[in-house]
Structure 1
Amino acid sequence: MKKDFSHLVREDRVHTSLYRDPTLFEEEMDRVFKNTWVWVAHESDLPGKNTFKTSWVGREPVIVTRDREHKLHVLLNRCRHRAASVCEKSKGKASVFVCPYHGWSYDPDGRLRKVPHAAGYPADFDTSEFPLVSLRTETYNGMIFATFKSDIEPLVDFLGPARKWIDLFMKQGADYGVKTLGEHRFRFPGNWKIQLENTTDAYHFPIVHKTFLDSLDAETENVFDVLGQGGWIEDLGNGHSVMVMIPDLVDLDQNADAPIPDRFADLAKELRQEGHNEAAVRKIVRAVGGAGFNLNLFPNVACSMAFFRVLRPVSVDETEITHVALGMNGGPAAANRMRLRLHEHFQGPMGFGTPDDAEGWERVQRGSAAGSDLWIMLNRGVDAPEGVSDPSHNAGDVSAETGMRAAYQMWKRMMAA
């Protein structure tokens, strides 16, 4: 009989064991990561036929492929013979995956192509019975998700109201579309849910990220006054949530006539010199800084202002984070260079944001060892500003812990007996 863990989550708090209990962590890998849609890649990672990217669904390694018919697949990265991984590269192009141990080879759609020295097997050995295991795969607006659960609801239903925010986020492609530009990866000694909480936590921003704010010019620092812009946090259902920090940048198609910020003046000049008309210059420049919100998609990915943040549980007290820089697919080189510089300023290993965040996450894990029977408080928040959020959704002001409560209610639902 399955154990019921729902008593560990209340309306406004969660038990400390959610960060520390190894048995609970093992249950999460089964009940959460094997029973919902998990983000694995962006379509721009697979730009043509026979392209691939390696990824993870929970702790299980997978290969995301685009076959010769351009159809997407998510395959367990495990040879059907003796379990060796068949692909170790992070991404690339391959018309066949060959197991390095005994040479079994597979097509990009997972079919077993060839078995060396096949005469050593019985006459009725049927290669069609041993493809790479394929997961159910669906996409939304370029984002690729996979699941072990064959009878799960369609992805569009799982995303629900979050689809609106994905669509808004992708407007930073400035009509060129969005593509991945590169990524950096690191681990921190803490539970995966600590990072899940962080994406919709504006309360920490002026404290943890003071050095980032101090590095900005006065105009940009005012833009990043995230607690003073009238933002909000909204529960989007199924554990998803959005934190709006800069309301003026929610819809990048609006306010096109707003003055170009000083920090983008040189970029605007370069774009004009390249022959872009003024409307295109303004659209591109406005998109370069990213959207004014963080969208948290339960359980493992965030569309965070101008990048993807992907979490991967490693153990109860270790988590891997991948920050994926985004650019304009076929857009001006100058604009994509600027986006990379902005990404490096905050997210990079020498940036002003990521190292401070990681220090905070590590301290939470360390501190959770004290007083193991205490509860983690998630009770902060007052009502959202009038008229900004969907009236049918739970919402709070930008410093509220609404997003965390939303994620843990989904966790509670999935971890019940």
Structure 2
Amino acid sequence: MNAPINFHRPVQDLVREDRVHTSLYTDPLLFEQEMERIFRKCWVWVAHASELPEAGSYKTHWVGQEPVIVVRDRKQQVHVLLNRCRHRAATVCEHKKGKTASFVCPYHGWSYALDGSLRGVPHPESYGECLDKGEFPLVSLRTESYNGMIFATFDDQIAPLEEWLGPARKWIDLFMKQGAGYPVKVAGEHRFKFPGNWKIQLENTTDAYHFPLIHKSFLGSLDAQTARMLDFVGGPGYVEDLGKGHSVMVMIPELIDLDEKLDEPIPERFVELAEQLRAEGHEEPQVRRIVRAVGGTGFNLNLFPNVACSMAFFRVLQPVSVRETEIHHAAIVMDGGPAAANQARLRLHEHFQGPMGFGTPDDSEAWERVQKGAGAGRDLWILLNRGLPGERVTEDGRAGDVSAETGMRAAYQQWLKLMTA
């Protein structure tokens, strides 16, 4: 396939208020610059605290295209370490997750503690006085967390995480109410790749416009009450720009705060679950809180550049190349919560997000078609003007109706800011 061309437009000319140039999906040079100017200069999501339950717990992940290990040490501190031996660059961990006392390079046996410090090398006498172990720890990234969400960055000058998140913090707090009083826990994930640029998926999380079209088969699989609830395009919802490229799409306003409106009738699809919880001895207020949490929140929160808190799961994107992206869908449950409630959450996750569900195959085919279509025509633009005339200023930024492309415009303005910094 011929290498795409950006027609020699300066980067600052590739993003306008209401459109972006197609080369943002296709230009390998832009992709390389994104890895340096965005994924090395942002707070990038790497894990949820529940994935590291005890000392020695770890998972492998990526920051941009650079492999990392996220690990909890014996003092309960979380570290994000480059997955690269300081000797000859071999990875020191290949498992997706697990528990260990140390990391040992399989090539020459250099061993590292959980905090990344170099503990030992085989046959140290060969080095004489020319090896100071203190100079060669695994490289550690700056790491901060908010409400269980762990982020890392290469940029030591970036603002603290809480400042970076800004108004998005209150939406993270609301999302975590899905624990219904129990801690939120990642209950596993499934991964898949699609042949398309990472920004195509980034756009999707706050795109309500596609929902009744792409997901028609999903809507047809629901009971009438749930189908009416998800008929939100044209409803009272909204999309809001939260700054720094973050945005929230509120599809079902009555499900923003799961601790509210607990006296409303229990949805038909959860009546049996409610009866089971009562039979297990849960008091009525807690039954209603758990049932309400099982269904998930009424919004999708996009955190630029790589993670979404999407109704009832985490969606993480991993750029592979300019034309390939890996997606991680992480199901969440109530840690220590009722087994029946957690089982119900997993069944709902499987119904839409799961590999045999209705939503993921439809979305991924649409993303693939966008990438394929981006190869047609020359010097064309991607339109992002839906809802622009009706946008209004809010306390946290700007907002449009629920099917507005406000979230996409927010992300691309942040893209432009970082790419031209």
1:246-303 CA-partner distances (Å, limit 9, x unpaired): 0010000110101111111111111111110000000000000110000000000000
**Residues 178 and 326 of structure 1 are in contact (CA less than 8 Å); yes or no, is this contact kept in structure 2?**
yes
Q: 2: CA distance between counterparts of 1:19 and 1:37?
A: 22
**Residues 5 and 416 of structure 1 are in contact (CA less than 8 Å); yes or no, is this contact kept in structure 2?**
yes
Find 2:261's aligned residue among 224, 249, 255.
255
Partner residue in 1 for 2:97: 91
Partner residue in 2 for 1:412: 416
Partner residue in 2 for 1:117: 123
**Residues 77 and 85 of structure 1 are in contact (CA less than 8 Å); yes or no, is this contact kept in structure 2?**
yes
Name the CA shift for 1:24/1:340 in 2 (closer, same or farther; >3 Å). Answer: same
**Residues 288 and 339 of structure 1 are in contact (CA less than 8 Å); yes or no, is this contact kept in structure 2?**
yes
Task: Report the alpha carbon displacement of residue 329 of structure 1 after superposing the two structures with TM.
Answer: 1.2
**Residues 205 and 302 of structure 2 are in contact (CA less than 8 Å); yes or no, is this contact kept in structure 1?**
yes
1:42-81 CA-partner distances (Å, limit 9, x unpaired): 0000001111111110111100010000001000000001
**Residues 384 and 398 of structure 1 are in contact (CA less than 8 Å); yes or no, is this contact kept in structure 2?**
no
Identical aligned residues as a percent: 70
Partner residue in 1 for 2:377: 371
Q: 2: CA distance between counterparts of 1:53 and 1:203?
A: 35
The reply on whether 1:74 has 2:85 as its aligned counterpart is no
**Residues 54 and 62 of structure 1 are in contact (CA less than 8 Å); yes or no, is this contact kept in structure 2?**
yes
Task: Report the alpha carbon displacement of residue 229 of structure 1 after superposing the two structures with TM.
Answer: 3.2
Find 1:159's aligned residue among 150, 165, 171.
165
Aligned-partner SS, 1:226: coil
Task: Report the alpha carbon displacement of residue 372 of structure 1 after superposing the two structures with TM.
Answer: 2.8
Partner residue in 2 for 1:393: 397
Name the CA shift for 1:176/1:392 in 2 (closer, same or farther; >3 Å). Answer: closer
Aligned-partner SS, 2:233: helix
The alignment's TM-score, normalised by the length of structure 1, stands at: 0.97
**Residues 241 and 396 of structure 2 are in contact (CA less than 8 Å); yes or no, is this contact kept in structure 1?**
no
**Residues 383 and 395 of structure 1 are in contact (CA less than 8 Å); yes or no, is this contact kept in structure 2?**
no
Q: 1: CA distance between counterparts of 2:313 and 2:234?
A: 23
Find 2:386's aligned residue among 358, 374, 380.
380
Task: Report the alpha carbon displacement of residue 223 of structure 1 after superposing the two structures with TM.
Answer: 1.0
User: Where does 1:104-143 land on structure 2 (aligned, <5 Å)?
Assistant: 104-143=110-149
**Residues 191 and 365 of structure 1 are in contact (CA less than 8 Å); yes or no, is this contact kept in structure 2?**
yes
Find 2:275's aligned residue among 269, 274, 293.
269
**Residues 230 and 385 of structure 1 are in contact (CA less than 8 Å); yes or no, is this contact kept in structure 2?**
no
1:213-270 CA-partner distances (Å, limit 9, x unpaired): 0000000101111214310000000000000000010000110101111111111111
Partner residue in 2 for 1:47: 53
Partner residue in 2 for 1:101: 107
Matched residue count: 413
Partner residue in 1 for 2:213: 207
The reply on whether 1:324 has 2:341 as its aligned counterpart is no
Task: Report the alpha carbon displacement of residue 122 of structure 1 after superposing the two structures with TM.
Answer: 2.3
The reply on whether 1:298 has 2:304 as its aligned counterpart is yes
Counterpart of 1:240 in structure 2: which amino acid?
A: H
Counterpart of 1:58 in structure 2: which amino acid?
A: G
Structure 1, 389-398 or 311-320: larger mean CA deviation: 389-398
Runs of 4+ aligned structure 1 residues displaced above 2 Å come to: 382-386, 389-392
Q: 2: CA distance between counterparts of 1:245 and 1:44?
A: 27
Q: 1: CA distance between counterparts of 2:32 and 2:388?
A: 35
Question: Mind listing any 5+ residue stretches in structure 1 that lack a counterpart?
Answer: none
Q: 2: CA distance between counterparts of 1:125 and 1:82?
A: 14
Task: Report the alpha carbon displacement of residue 371 of structure 1 after superposing the two structures with TM.
Answer: 1.1
**Residues 301 and 309 of structure 2 are in contact (CA less than 8 Å); yes or no, is this contact kept in structure 1?**
yes
Find 2:368's aligned residue among 362, 365, 379.
362
Task: Report the alpha carbon displacement of residue 92 of structure 1 after superposing the two structures with TM.
Answer: 1.1
Counterpart of 1:347 in structure 2: which amino acid?
A: Q
Partner residue in 1 for 2:345: 339
Superposed CA RMSD: 1.3
Find 1:150's aligned residue among 152, 156, 169.
156
Find 1:237's aligned residue among 233, 243, 249.
243
1:323-381 CA-partner distances (Å, limit 9, x unpaired): 00000111111111111000000001110000000000000000011113010000001
Aligned-partner SS, 1:156: helix
**Residues 52 and 64 of structure 1 are in contact (CA less than 8 Å); yes or no, is this contact kept in structure 2?**
yes
Partner residue in 1 for 2:5: none
Name the CA shift for 1:179/1:143 in 2 (closer, same or farther; >3 Å). Answer: same
Partner residue in 1 for 2:407: 403
Partner residue in 1 for 2:252: 246
Name the CA shift for 1:352/1:171 in 2 (closer, same or farther; >3 Å). Answer: same
User: Where does 1:11-26 land on structure 2 (aligned, <5 Å)?
Assistant: 11-26=17-32
Aligned-partner SS, 1:254: coil
Counterpart of 1:261 in structure 2: which amino acid?
A: P
Task: Report the alpha carbon displacement of residue 204 of structure 1 after superposing the two structures with TM.
Answer: 0.2
**Residues 8 and 15 of structure 1 are in contact (CA less than 8 Å); yes or no, is this contact kept in structure 2?**
yes
**Residues 232 and 385 of structure 1 are in contact (CA less than 8 Å); yes or no, is this contact kept in structure 2?**
no
